[in-house]
Structure 1
Amino acid sequence: MNVSQEPPRKEAPWMAGIRAAKANIVPALIVQAVMLTVVLLYYFYPPTRDLLDQLAQVKERMGYGYSALAAVIAGGFVPEIMRIIVFQKGKVIRQNFANLLFTVPFWGFSGVVVDLFYRFQEQWFGAEVTVGVVVAKVLVDQFVFNPFWAAPTGAWGYDLKNSGYNFKGIGRFFTLKYYRDVIVPILFATWGVWIPLVAIVYSLPSLLQIPLFALALAMWVMLFTWINEARMEEK
């Protein structure tokens, strides 16, 4: 007797993101704990406040240049140096330079965009550090800016890089299928990490938000790089 079998159901896109979030929960908690410690030290330990206030003055003088440089170091150079030291045993290869040719402009531009977005947030909601202001900024950050800009541009950029900058078929980036299959999992994977992180970032004065964002980005990218490289070695 033939028994018909239903084809296996395709996994919902958000389930991949939830799995990724669960897999990265330990590094996420580490980054969040470090960031929370920095904020607490700023408010309750005067030497830390003095040090961070000096950093804020540097940010004020450099403006968008600081944001671009900080993001390039955090998202570009830090993970590449880590890759060379830990996974390539100190050996520099051509691929490292190829990676930087992408990550330097990508993260430099991203840093400027984030700085501009933070400035808009301040105009919309104010610079006061209150529960209402912080909550409003977090909601717009993670449920408007992230799904409509940060997650899509990140996915497009890295997919284009990984395809060898092949622009053929780039139209798929702007389809609902691509958003559902690629971007939705990214959103679910990052919300668990970045919702607490941006809440911490917005709990500091405006001039310290980009430096703290860069610190969070550097730590997260280092841990993310470690996880990915370790998984590739296992394969």
Structure 2
Amino acid sequence: MTARSTPSALHQVRAAIRANALPGVLLWCGLAVLLLAYATMPAFQQGLARWGDVKQAWGLTFAFVSYVVFAVLVPEGLSVALGRQTWTRKTTMDVLYAALVFGTIGLTVDILYGVQVHLFGEQSDAITLVKKMLFDQFVYSPVSNYLIVALFAWREGGFTLKTLRHLFSADFLAHQYLPVLIAMWCVWIPGVMVIYFMPTELQFPVASLILVFWILIFKFVRRS
């Protein structure tokens, strides 16, 4: 009996892109709806503005809590409410771990937006948007996505030293990290363009909305 060959990195990249095709299209449709609501609904604009005011008042604390709520609690709560999973002790531990990871990512996202303002200004012209998108997706995103993939892989491996060493191996980078990164680029580049199109004070609220929409699509469409 011959051993099963490990899929090549290119094969896994292609598989990741195919798996994210439908979620990506749905996300882009959601982005169009979000822009339409922002352009035509004063109540929606006012709601985002109030959210932005609270964010400015609470700073990094609000950034941490927002990402915990929108990236973890809302998706998990809906999954339980819709009967897709039951809440167990393991679920609680998984949620606490995910809250720590995504809350920390929320802090880095808030810092990123401030850095972008200092580097490129607050204009929303095409050149500024492209500069911010490139910095976001090809400087910040490779690091943040590596941390997310690695931290969850380390947990799945039981937090062992062997797993930790594997996180820095060529095999992990090629077969687990790279497919995720390329698939995220395919889906998220339009998303960050929408984020940076918004006024600076609304970028974090809009990013939170896009994040929760993406995670809900991932949970209920890609895995269906």
TM-score by length of 2: 0.89
- Matching residue's letter, 1:18: R
CA contact (8 A) 2:157 2:163 kept: no
Q: 1:51, 1:42 → 2: CA distance?
A: 10
* CA spacing shift, 1:126–1:97, aligned 2, 3 Å: same
Q: 1:164 — aligned with what?
A: 158
Is contact 1:20-1:189 (8 Å) kept?
yes
Distance 1:15 1:87, change over 3 A: farther
Larger radius of gyration: 1
Q: Distance in 1 between matches of 2:82 and 2:91?
A: 13
Preserved CA contact (<8 Å) 2:23 2:222 = no
Determine whether 1:209 maps to 2:207.
no
Identical columns (%): 24
Partner of residue 101, structure 1: 96
Which of 13, 17, 27 lines up with 1:17 in the alignment? 13
Say if 1:138 and 1:94 are closer, same or farther in 2 by CA, change over 3 A: same
d(CA) in 1 for partners of 2:172, 2:41? 47
Deviation at 1:227, TM superposition (A): 4.1
Q: Distance in 1 between matches of 2:206 and 2:110?
A: 12
Cα–Cα, structure 1 residues 142 and 40, in superposed 2: closer, same or farther, change >3 Å?
same
Q: Which of 64, 73, 82 is equivalent to 2:69?
A: 73
Cα 1:16–1:87 change in 2 (3 A) is farther
Q: Secondary structure at the match of 1:102?
A: helix
Measured in 1, the distance between the counterparts of 2:159 and 2:217 equals 26
- 1:45 corresponds in structure 2 to 41
**2:123 is equivalent to residue 128 of structure 1:** yes
The whole-number CA distance in structure 2 between the counterparts of 1:29 and 1:163 is 33
Q: 1:202 to 1:102 in 2, by over 3 A?
A: same
Deviation of 1:9 (Å): 8.6
Aligned to 1:143: 138
Partner of 1:155: 149
Range with greater deviation from structure 2 (152-161 or 26-35): 26-35
Deviation, structure 1 residue 17? 2.6
In structure 2, the residue corresponding to 1:60 is in which secondary structure?
Answer: helix
8 A contact 2:56–2:201 mirrored in 1: yes
Q: Do 1:42 and 1:48's aligned partners in 2 also have CA atoms closer than 8 Å?
A: yes
The runs of at least 4 aligned residues of structure 1 exceeding 6 Å deviation read none
Amino acid in the other structure paired with 2:66: A
- Aligned match of 1:55: 51
Q: Return the alpha-carbon distance in structure 1 between the equivalents of residues 193 and 129 of structure 2.
A: 6
The runs of 5 or more residues in structure 1 that have no matched partner are 1-7, 231-235
- Measured in 2, the distance between the counterparts of 1:27 and 1:82 equals 18
2:219 is matched with 225
1:39 touches 1:204 (CA, 8 Å); kept in 2? no
Per-residue deviation, 1:144: 1.4
1:174 is paired with a residue whose SS is: coil
1:142/1:195 contact within 8 Å kept: yes
8 Å CA contact 2:154–2:167 kept in 1: the answer is: no
TM-score (normalizing by structure 1): 0.86
The root-mean-square deviation of aligned C-alpha atoms, in Å, is 2.2
How far apart, CA to CA, are the structure 1 residues paired with 2:10 and 2:60? 35
| Counterpart for residue 87 of structure 2 | 92
